[in-house]
Structure 1
Amino acid sequence: MYRFLLSPRWLGYAALTVLASALMVLAGVWQYERYAQRTASNARVAAAEATVPAPVAAVLPVPGAAAGAVGAAPPAARQWARVTATGRYDAAHQVLVRGRNRDGARGFEVLTPLRLPGGAGLLVDRGWIAAVGGDARARPAVPPPPPGEVTVVGRVAPPESGAGPVDRVDGRPEVRRISPAHLAPLLPYPTFGAYLLRDADSPDPGGDPLAAVESPRQRTWQNAGYVVQWWLFAVMTWVGFVWLVRREAHAPPRPAPPSPAPAPAPAR
């Protein structure tokens, strides 16, 4: 009944099914690896955020003494750790980070250097503020940082990839990605190689409209969905092949072609 599977046509169908299903299984395995990597990344962020804040100099490499120098970027084990830093905000060298969306609204993040007693600067992302009228380029009125000496509690954020040169909008600096290395030449003092996502200032002046920026979380559910999708496709490929085989095996026999009529005998 199934001898037809040995025909060249059906052997080709079988080879195509094996190849297609194998590729789908491999795609599912790759998505599962991405899922595991992103889950581990989220776990590291959560664990780092749960730590007791430590002095920034105990977590980040201290930069050199030259103006414009930048310290080393933090290793992965120290990213998103909570730290404290005491100093004075340098509002004169504040930078806005454009193109930042929050809950579907367009806005900016406010990046203000914190000048530490030792002379080095630490970039602090004080938070997010909505753009004027929903226009991504319309700069809002940014509230000034707290005056005097403050202690900042925040999370260590690594430099963002894809950072470009600093733009000037109406004479004021503006960037799309946060990179201390790109911003260090603007500052008259050395700068740490990471920046802080601010959680709180002490003393707290109150009435600050800036919304705290959350640590990034990876979307693991998408990868988990792709795993199920690709492996389901692989199973469906074989289900379809088996269905075609059974249909072929149980199809009614094709009628034999009619025999040619005998040629008439020649006349005598």
Structure 2
Amino acid sequence: MYRFLLTPRWLGILALTLAAAAVMVQLGNWQLHRYQERSAVNARIDAAGDRAPTPLREVLAAPVGAADAVGEPPPADAVWTRVTATGRYDESNVILVRGRTVNNRVGFEVVTPLVLADGSAVLVDRGWVPPAAGGALAHPELPAPTSGEVTVVGRVRLGESRAQEVTRRDGRLETRRIAIPELGRELPYPVYGGYLLLDEQDPPADPAFVAIPLRHENDWQNFGYVIQWWLFAAMALVGFGWVARREAHGTPVGKAARAAAPADRAADPAGSGLGPADRRSPG
């Protein structure tokens, strides 16, 4: 009954179905990997809040070299770790990162180098401020410079990968991304390869800075894609089986019509459209 499955046509359909199902299973596996990665990031974000901060140098490698040298980026498992560092803000090299949205408003994130006792610096994202009147690109009014030594507690972040031009306007550096290698070339000291998202500061930070919210990864979206791709793979296999069973047990309408046609022509050779009973003489 199923010998037709061995014909070239059906073998080709089976091969295409199996290939499509295999591709969809692999896409589901890739989404599962992304789900696991993002779940691990969320776990690190949550766990870091319950732990005491670690000294900066125990998490990030110190930059080696002269001015404009940039240290190694932090390893993936160090991202979101809370660290502490003490130094002085270099207010002459404030970095304004434009086009940042917080609470549905577009403004600037203010990143300032914290110069440590050894002369190196770590970039600290101190928070968000709105633009001045005149549009989203109008330079904001910043709080008064912080003088003296400060101790910060922040979460380690990787620099943003897409390099952007760094310009200096009105005495401040301006860019679209926190790309540390590009920013490091504009600074007169070696810079750590990761930056800090400010959690706490002593003395306290100016309330004009709006804290950057911690954004958990949307891992459940990836989990939904896992289910979706695996269901598609199962549907492809079930669909092939259903079509094959229909072919084996059912007679297509077109084939049934063609089989009935010779009998009709034999019963009505003149093509009158009348059946045998209609052509019998009355009485």
Q: Give the shorter-chain TM-score range.
A: 0.7 to 0.9
* Structure 1 residue 258 corresponds to structure 2 residue 262: yes
Equivalence for 2:22: 22
Deviation at 1:74, TM superposition (A): 2.5
Which one has a bigger Cα radius of gyration? 2
1:192-203 matches, cutoff 5 A:
192-203=192-203
Equivalence for 1:264: none
Indicate the SS of the match to 2:223: helix
Equivalence for 2:178: 178
Describe the shift of the 1:133–1:217 C-alpha distance in structure 2 as closer, same or farther (beyond 3 A): farther
Deviation at 1:127, TM superposition (A): 0.7
Q: Deviations over 1:76-126 (max 9, x none)?
A: 343322122222222111010112223433221101122223332221110
Equivalence for 2:238: 239
Describe the shift of the 1:167–1:241 C-alpha distance in structure 2 as closer, same or farther (beyond 3 A): same
Equivalence for 2:129: 129
Describe the shift of the 1:211–1:239 C-alpha distance in structure 2 as closer, same or farther (beyond 3 A): same
- Distance in 1, matches of 2:74 and 2:11, equals 57
- Distance in 2, matches of 1:71 and 1:11, equals 58
Deviation at 1:150, TM superposition (A): 1.8
* Native 8 Å contact 1:155 1:196 kept in 2: yes
Describe the shift of the 1:37–1:79 C-alpha distance in structure 2 as closer, same or farther (beyond 3 A): closer
Q: TM-score, normalised by structure 1?
A: 0.82
Deviation at 1:145, TM superposition (A): 4.2
- Distance in 2, matches of 1:121 and 1:225, equals 42
Describe the shift of the 1:152–1:250 C-alpha distance in structure 2 as closer, same or farther (beyond 3 A): same
- Distance in 1, matches of 2:134 and 2:222, equals 32
Deviation at 1:247, TM superposition (A): 3.0
- Distance in 2, matches of 1:146 and 1:2, equals 82
Equivalence for 2:278: none
* Native 8 Å contact 2:131 2:141 kept in 1: no
Describe the shift of the 1:204–1:137 C-alpha distance in structure 2 as closer, same or farther (beyond 3 A): same
Deviation at 1:40, TM superposition (A): 2.3
Q: Deviations over 1:171-210 (max 9, x none)?
A: 532112213332233333332232211111112265x122
* Native 8 Å contact 2:93 2:187 kept in 1: yes
Q: List runs of 5+ in structure 1 lacking aligned partners.
A: 262-268
Give the letter aligned to residue 219 of structure 2. T
Equivalence for 2:223: 224
Indicate the SS of the match to 1:191: coil
* Native 8 Å contact 1:74 1:194 kept in 2: yes
Q: TM-score, normalised by structure 2?
A: 0.79
- Distance in 1, matches of 2:136 and 2:205, equals 28
Describe the shift of the 1:236–1:117 C-alpha distance in structure 2 as closer, same or farther (beyond 3 A): same
Indicate the SS of the match to 1:186: coil
Over aligned residue pairs, what C-alpha RMSD do you find? 2.8
Give the letter aligned to residue 31 of structure 1. Q
Give the letter aligned to residue 104 of structure 1. N
Describe the shift of the 1:181–1:229 C-alpha distance in structure 2 as closer, same or farther (beyond 3 A): same
Deviation at 1:170, TM superposition (A): 4.8
1:4-15 matches, cutoff 5 A:
4-15=4-15
Give the letter aligned to residue 167 of structure 2. D
Give the letter aligned to residue 71 of structure 2. G
Describe the shift of the 1:166–1:241 C-alpha distance in structure 2 as closer, same or farther (beyond 3 A): same
Equivalence for 1:118: 118
Give the letter aligned to residue 178 of structure 1. I
* Native 8 Å contact 2:93 2:172 kept in 1: no
Describe the shift of the 1:235–1:63 C-alpha distance in structure 2 as closer, same or farther (beyond 3 A): closer
Indicate the SS of the match to 2:168: strand
- Distance in 2, matches of 1:190 and 1:230, equals 47
- Of residues 64-73 and 99-108 in structure 1, the stretch that sits farther from structure 2 once superposed is 64-73
Q: How many residues align?
A: 260
